[in-house]
Chain A
Amino acid sequence: MSRGAVRHWRAERISALALIPLTLWFVVSILSHLGADRAQIQGWLGRPIPALLAAALVIVTFYHSALGVRVVIEDYVHAPARLRALLSLNVVASWLLALLALGAIATLVVAG
C-alpha cells in the first residue's frame, strides 16, 4: 500500500485541519440546541449557512474517517481476501453514510 502514501498523508492532515473549526462549530451548535424538538432542528439545519457547514462537516468527517480506518485495517488485517473486502467495505460504507447525511440535510433545507 505504498502507492499514494504521500497523498494519503497530506489528505489526512488537510482534512484534520478543516475538521478543527467544523467540529468545534458542531459541538457548540449541539450544546445550544439541547432538548430541541424536531421542528427546532429543522429550523436550525434548514437555514443556508448551518446547512452548508453541516454538509462540509459530513464530507470532511467521512473522508478523514475513511483515511484513518483504512490504515487501521491495513495494520491489523493480513489475509488478502479479508483485507480487500474490509478496505472496500470501508470505502462503500463511508460513501453511503455521507450521502445519506447529505440527503437528510438537503431534505431539512427544502422543508425549512
Chain B
Amino acid sequence: MCVAHAALTAAEGGSKPTLRLASPRVIEGFLRMTPAERPLSPHLQIYKPQLTSVLSIANRGTGLALSIGAVFIVAWLAAAAWSGGAFALAQAFWGSLIGQLFLLGWSFSFYFHLLNGIRHLAWDSGFGLDLKTTYATGWSVVVLSLLLAVATFAAGLALRGGA
C-alpha cells in the first residue's frame, strides 16, 4: 500500500465525511451479533472514485503494462541480433493496426508512469503533499501524458512518412 495514497485518502475522508454514526439501537444490534454475523467495514467498491486513488492504481497498471512492453522490446532486440525472419515479422507487427494501438497505449503508459513517478519522488522529498497541490499535479500528469503520447505518436507518423 502506497503511504502517500493512504494519507491523502484519509485527508479527503476528513474534509468530506461520507459515513455517519449509526443510532445506539443499531450499534446494540451489532454488539449482540457474533463476529461472523457483523457486517464488514466499507470496502473499495462503496467509495466514489477519487482522482488520488484512481491515479494511484493507474500508476500500478501502467507499470505492469510497461513491464509487459519490456518483454516485447527484448523480443525485438533478440530478433535484430539473431534472426532476419523474426525481425521482419516484428517490424510488420509494429506497422499493423494492432501494433500501432499497442504503441499508442504504451507511450501513454510510459509518459504517465514517468510523470507520476516524478510526482511520487516529489512527495518522497516532502513536496506537494497538501490536497490542493495533489489535485493540481494529478490533473497535470493526466493531461500532459495524453498530450505527450499523442505528440510522440504524431511525430512517429510524420517521421515514418518522411523516411
Contact = CB atoms under 8 A, between A and B. Distances in A.
A and B form one complex: yes
Contact of B152 (A20, A27, A58, A72): A27
A69 interface: yes
Chain A interface helix/strand/loop/mixed = helix
Interface residues of A, number: 33
A52 interface: no
B124 A108 contact: no
A61 B160 CA distance: 27
Contact of A17 (B60, B121, B155): B121
A104 B82 CA distance: 7
A61 B114 contact: no
A36 B140 CA distance: 34
Given A31-B156, A34-B159, A69 B67 contact: yes
22 contacts: A13-B121, A13-B124, A16-B120, A16-B121, A34-B156, A38-B88, A42-B80, A54-B77, A62-B70, A65-B66, A65-B67, A68-B64, A69-B63, A69-B64, A69-B67, A72-B64, A101-B78, A104-B78, A105-B77, A108-B77, A108-B80, A111-B81
Nearest to B94: A34
Contacts of B156: 31, 34
A74 B153 CA distance: 35
A19 to B, nearest CB: 8
B74 A31 contact: no
Contacts of A27: 107, 110, 152
Which of B66, B81, B84, B163 has the largest count of A CB atoms less than 10 A from its CB?
Answer: B81
A35 B160 contact: yes
